[in-house]
Structure 1
């Protein structure tokens, strides 16, 4: 692969931004990593948009400028990348990518994500969060989400989520082992476990009958489970990943 994603600062008027900082684990910046991931997701289509190194630099500066102005988080961009790789056959525009990173948040859809994300974190997983706002709203109501039904907390949850979304800027979602309340499997009574399983079934049942930001993934997995052999393996893997299911080998 040619190294178009790495360009000389001599050509650059780039602003100071976390997106240009080299990530030690990657050896490149986050925006270079995003470029490479989009290139891998859309062979030929992506690279054909960039005739030279300067055009790549222009793309990076333009997208980073918007990421910063919208206060986009790393988690939101990661979520958006997973979504566009399945939903778009051609590379997304900046507007399409932003919509994928930060879909409209409905209180019940956010509750679905918070509830299933909570279970994932109990299992030592990161969880799938449509926005850091959903995570931090869930954190402020962690015990209520765990112990009460949606109908019991609906108004308080909607108000908490609205207040969190209004902030417009959030801390990154911590790693599972980075918070004392996360990363362990709490002891629950048989009654609590039964209630949570019942609530989880309700979440999925309602999600199947109404549109939410993971509808595409649910439908794709339903096709696979029905025996559809035309579903690309990578699409199935992406769908399983965003739903928190076991990823096929």
Structure 2
């Protein structure tokens, strides 16, 4: 699109900026994609440049308020190709960007994939499900009954989807158990050194109210004398606050 943009009081967002690799803005790229999916039908909605500019402003504002990112837009375009015979309205496109997730199915996935994650074999259909599981906490997710988890998980999933959803981080594989030739103390020192090298144990001064949790894990790795319930609580606290598993 090369038509002159008319003046507007709407505050420009990143969706209006020229994308370096595209040579046009992300909004104009989206306009062209929708025009390609719905030839003649899409452009027929815009009798003049003012109508196109109104579309730019309304969609950019909605994308900013709903925290829509380029991945969501790509997913929405894919859904439109499959399910929409006619060009989507703004409301329809936003729903396609954030499709409804079946909470029951998502919770079952969260439980199964958190089990798989212990072996670094987890696969998530949507990163929002992972981050909702993190908010609930791995320990609770794998120990509490479904009925008790569902309201907490649903609330966590709703909260996660309100903001930017980051990709699922890789989990650092657990080390193998010590061999028969190693003493428990030698293995503990080796494990602690490797954890420190991987930055999985942070300085107590940076831990704030998590200092006790890091100390518990450090003591467990050093001497193996920390009760299991305290160790589980420490891991849960770190995961809940930092989003990373110790």
Provide TM-score, normalisation by structure 1.
0.52
Match in the other structure for 2:243:
none
Q: Which runs of 4+ in 1 moved over 6 A?
A: 115-119, 122-125
Match in the other structure for 1:44:
40
Match in the other structure for 2:237:
none
In the alignment, structure 2 segments of 5+ residues that lack a partner are: 175-246
User: Where does 1:111-130 land on structure 2 (aligned, <5 Å)?
Assistant: 111=107, 128-129=125-126
Gap change, CA 1:160 and 1:116, over 3 Å in 2 = closer
Match in the other structure for 1:201:
none
CA contact (8 A) 2:35 2:43 kept: yes
Match in the other structure for 2:129:
134
In the alignment, structure 1 segments of 5+ residues that lack a partner are: 188-249
CA contact (8 A) 1:134 1:161 kept: no
Hey, what's the Cα distance between the residues in 1 that align with 2:139 and 2:26? 36
Hey, what's the Cα distance between the residues in 2 that align with 1:75 and 1:161? 23
Larger RCO: 1 or 2 (CA < 8 Å, sep 6+): 1
CA contact (8 A) 1:31 1:64 kept: yes
Provide TM-score, normalisation by structure 2.
0.53
Residues 89-141 of structure 1 show CA distances to partners (whole Å, capped at 9, x for unaligned) of 1111122222222233331233466589988xx7899x643xx6434214446
Residues 46-69 of structure 1 show CA distances to partners (whole Å, capped at 9, x for unaligned) of 122223333222111111122223
Gap change, CA 1:163 and 1:83, over 3 Å in 2 = same
User: Where does 1:16-35 land on structure 2 (aligned, <5 Å)?
Assistant: 16-35=12-31
Gap change, CA 1:37 and 1:113, over 3 Å in 2 = farther
- Computed over aligned residues only, the root mean square deviation of the Cα atoms, in angstroms, reads 4.0
User: Where does 1:25-174 land on structure 2 (aligned, <5 Å)?
Assistant: 25-111=21-107, 128-129=125-126, 133-140=128-135, 152=145, 155-156=148-149, 158-166=151-159, 169-174=162-167
CA contact (8 A) 1:11 1:54 kept: no
Give the greater-gyration-radius structure (CA).
2
